[in-house]
């Protein structure tokens, strides 16, 4: 006699249940993009800033994979609403009182719970029926495990963290990511009353000073080694561009913009943070350390509308810096400095792509708008003129 049913067979998830689970994951992944963007500006050690940049880009990729799968599914509806209690939890995670508490709650509680839930779902999926979801979730699990490995190596202050315990209690009270856990307790009292406010500058620990860099023209008289050191200080200073994009990703969340906007600028943000990391790496190799950042370009533009920030960076500043890219590449080649040339090569290629993003999204944001790009750039110049107390005729940088 053939058995039609067996308790040993993995049950798997039907389409409706799968779509609901993927939407829960999507809500968390999207929220993590915004949380990372805000705390990138706030967290002090620059090494942790880089980790948050990698994390943000990873969550953006995860969200894109989940959206693509949902759009293939019958009734997938990637934009359908998710549970209000899950959204409230995700909103609350942002408001940690300090960097230590943020890391413990964000990585140690929320992202660890997310990783465990992905693993639990993988164990329950049918290898054939749920093959599409398995491929996606396995890639996400590998990414999140690397993040947990990094977090577990951190030496954070204190043995306990009231904010992390509070977030853990919120997660328990709603039944976890999917709201399915049966053991629920009332959430703990909120341990502090503060609300996260996006900084208007780039915050660092005491190793990094807010200080001007050597201007471009002055570097031309330096020896190749001295010039290279100053050039990689400018690389490190691309933190300002990453910060400007972080402000865009943070402030634009909730606006009626296509997900592709966030996906493109998450990639752009990650690239700029990597370029800053190039500076940190190469400076150390050259026997020195990053010690300064000039955030003036970010500070003077972070309050502009989204359209103006994107235009200023991608169609103003990056166009201004672009002629230096091939020249710097060739100088390193002539000096036999192939290590520096490697970083310059990647930077040059990335920046070309960023101009494409800028053209794509400024055109989109100006649809049904009577203004042209030149008009928006004129408005940016007028804003900068007001802040600086002198007429700004051209988009340029002091380094």
**53-65 confidence digits (pLDDT tens):** 999 999 999 999 9
Query: Which residue carries 């003036």 as its tokens?
Result: 296
pLDDT of residue 6: 54
Q: CA 136, 31, 104: angle at the middle one, nearest 5?
A: 95
Percent of the chain with pLDDT over 70: 97
What is the pLDDT, as a whole number, of residue 264?
Answer: 98
| Model pLDDT for residues 130-180, shown as the tens digit of each residue | 999 999 999 999 999 999 999 999 999 887 999 999 999 999 999 999 999
Q: What is the mean pLDDT of the chain?
A: 96
DSSP character string of 47-74: HHHHHHHHHHHHHHHHHHHHHHHHHHST
pLDDT at residue 5 is higher than 90: no
**Residue 218: CA atoms inside 13 Å, Cβ hemisphere, count?**
8
Q: Is 50 exceeded by the pLDDT of residue 101? A: yes
**What pLDDT does residue 1 have?**
47
pLDDT at 96: 98
Q: What is the DSSP letter of 88?
A: H
Quote the pTM value.
0.96
Q: How far apart are CA 156 and CA 178, in angstroms?
A: 30
Rounded mean pLDDT, 381-387: 98
* pLDDT for position 109: 98
> pLDDT grade, residue 9 (50/70/90)?
low
> According to the model, what pLDDT value does residue 220 have?
87
> Is residue 7 predicted with pLDDT exceeding 80?
no
Q: Is the pLDDT of residue 8 over 70?
A: no
- What are 270-303's pLDDT values in tens digits? 999 999 999 999 999 999 999 999 999 999 999 9
Q: Could you tell me if 20 and 27 are in contact, meaning their C-beta atoms sit under 8 angstroms apart?
A: no
Answer yes or no: is pLDDT of 3 > 70. Answer: no
pLDDT digits (tens, 9 = 90+) for 202-238: 999 999 999 999 999 999 899 999 999 999 999 999 9
Do 259 and 216 contact (CB within 8 A), yes or no? no
End-to-end CA distance of the chain: 81
């Amino acid at each position: 006699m053939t058995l039609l049913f067996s308790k040993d067979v993995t049950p798997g998830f039907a389409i409706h249940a799968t779509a609901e689970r993927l939407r829960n994951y999507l809500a968390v992944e999207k929220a993590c993009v915004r949380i990372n963007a805000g705390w990138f500006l706030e967290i002090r050690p620059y090494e942790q800033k880089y980790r948050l940049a990698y994390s943000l880009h990873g969550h953006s990729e995860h969200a894109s994979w989940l959206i693509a799968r949902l759009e293939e599914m019958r009734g997938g509806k990637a934009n359908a609403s998710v549970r209000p209690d899950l959204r409230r939890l995700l909103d609350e995670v942002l408001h940690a009182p300090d960097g230590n508490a943020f890391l413990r709650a964000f990585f140690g509680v929320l992202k660890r719970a997310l990783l465990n839930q992905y693993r639990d779902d993988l164990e329950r999926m049918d290898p054939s029926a749920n093959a599409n979801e398995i491929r996606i979730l396995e890639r996400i699990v590998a990414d999140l495990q690397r993040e947990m490995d990094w977090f577990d190596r951190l030496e954070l202050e204190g043995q306990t963290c009231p904010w992390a315990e509070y977030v853990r209690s919120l997660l328990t009270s709603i039944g976890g990511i999917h709201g399915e856990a049966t053991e629920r307790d009332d959430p703990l009292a909120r341990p502090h009353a503060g609300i996260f406010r996006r900084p208007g500058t780039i915050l660092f620990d005491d190793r990094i000073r807010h200080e001007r860099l050597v201007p471009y023209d002055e570097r031309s008289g330096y020896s190749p080694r001295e010039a290279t050191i100053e050039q990689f200080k400018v690389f490190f200073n691309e933190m300002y561009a990453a910060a400007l994009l972080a402000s865009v990703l943070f402030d634009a969340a909730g606006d009626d913009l296509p997900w592709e906007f966030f996906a493109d600028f998450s990639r752009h943000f990650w690239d700029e943070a990597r370029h800053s990391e190039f500076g940190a790496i190469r400076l150390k190799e050259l026997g020195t350390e990053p010690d300064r950042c000039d955030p003036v370009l970010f500070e003077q533009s972070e309050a502009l509308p989204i359209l103006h920030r994107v235009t200023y960076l991608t169609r103003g500043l990056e166009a201004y810096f672009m002629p230096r890219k091939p020249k710097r590449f060739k100088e390193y080649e002539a000096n036999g400095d192939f290590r520096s040339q490697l970083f310059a090569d990647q930077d040059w290629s990335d920046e070309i792509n960023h101009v494409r993003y800028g053209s794509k999204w400024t055109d989109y944001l100006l649809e049904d708008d009577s203004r042209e790009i030149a008009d928006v750039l004129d408005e940016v110049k007028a804003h900068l003129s007001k802040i600086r107390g002198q007429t700004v005729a051209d988009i340029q940088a002091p380094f």
